[in-house]
Amino acid sequence: MPIVKKRYLLLIGVYLIGSSMVASSQSAYADTASLLNSASRIIALYKDSLKQNLRIYDGYEFTGGYRRSAGHPFFKFDQPQRGTILYEGTEYFNVLLAYDLTRDEVITVNPVSNQNIKLITSKIGRFQIGDHSFISVGDLSGLPGFPGEGFYELIYDNEVSVLAKRKKWLRESARAEESSRFLQSATYFIKKDNAFHEISNKRSLLRLFDDNKEEAAKFMQKEKLDFKKDAEQTIIRVMEFYNLLNK
C-alpha cells in the first residue's frame, strides 16, 4: 500500500477512535452522524494538504496546441471546468478537467504548479464535466459490436444505455491567410441485451424494437422527431418510449 494511503487511513483511524471515546455519552445516532461528518471533513482537509502529491497529478505535462486555428480541441469548454473523476479506483471531486476530443485524452490542472497534466488514460474509469458524464468501455471489449477503446458520453442510461463517441479534428486551411478550424462529429451506440448497436439512421434505431417497430415509428411521427436534423435527441426520446413499452 502506498505510504500516502497508509498515512491517510491511519489519520482517519486515530481520529475516529479518539472521537468515539470523547463522544461516548451521546446517543448512538447523533454520535455516528457526527463522526461521519467529521471524517468527511478530515478527508477533505487531508486531500487539500496533499495537493500536488495526490496520485491524480502523476500524469504527463500537456503541451498540445494548434497554431492559427479557429475554435478549440476540447469538449464544449475552451478552459478546464470543475468536475469529478474516478482515477485508479479513487474518486476525486471538484477538480479542474478538460477533455481533448482530438486525442481522446483528459487534462487536469495541478493546483500548485498550475501545469496542465495529461492523465493516464488506462487509469481513468469515468469522469464528469458539468452535467456530462463520460465512461471508459474497455472492460466491455468482449461484448458483440464493441465500438472500440476510449471515452464515451453516457447520454441516456436505463434499461438500455445510449453512448455518444465524440470526436474533433482540425481541417487545415488551403490559404495561408486563413486559419484552420476544428470540426466535430458524434457516433451513437446503444447497449442492449449485452451487445452494442451502432445507430446511424432511423432504420437502425427502429430495428432494436423487435415487435414494437410500428408503435415506435408512430411515436416518432407524432412527436415530429427527425433523425437527420437531431439524431441525439431523437435517439434519447425513442429510448424513453422504449422503456415505457417495457415497463
- Non-local (6+) Cβ contacts of 5 within 8 A are none
pLDDT at 159: 85
pLDDT at 117: 92
Distance CA 107, CA 60 (A): 9
Return averaged pLDDT per consecutive 10 residues of the chain, 247 residues in all: 45 46 48 60 52 65 65 90 94 95 94 88 96 94 94 95 95 72 94 95 92 91 96 96 85
Q: Is the pTM of this model over 0.95?
A: no
Q: What is the pLDDT of residue 112?
A: 83
> pLDDT at position 172, please?
77
Predicted local confidence at residue 67, as pLDDT: 59
Q: What is the full DSSP assignment across 219-233?
A: HHHHTT--TTT-HHH
| Domain boundaries of the chain, sorted by first residue | 3-53, 60-199, 200-247
Burial of residue 224 (CB within 10 Å: 0-12, 13-18, 19+) is exposed
Pairing between β-strand 161-171 and β-strand 151-157 as defined by DSSP bridges: antiparallel
CA–CA separation, 96 and 108 (whole Å): 5
pLDDT at 7: 46
Across the strands, what pairs with 183?
169
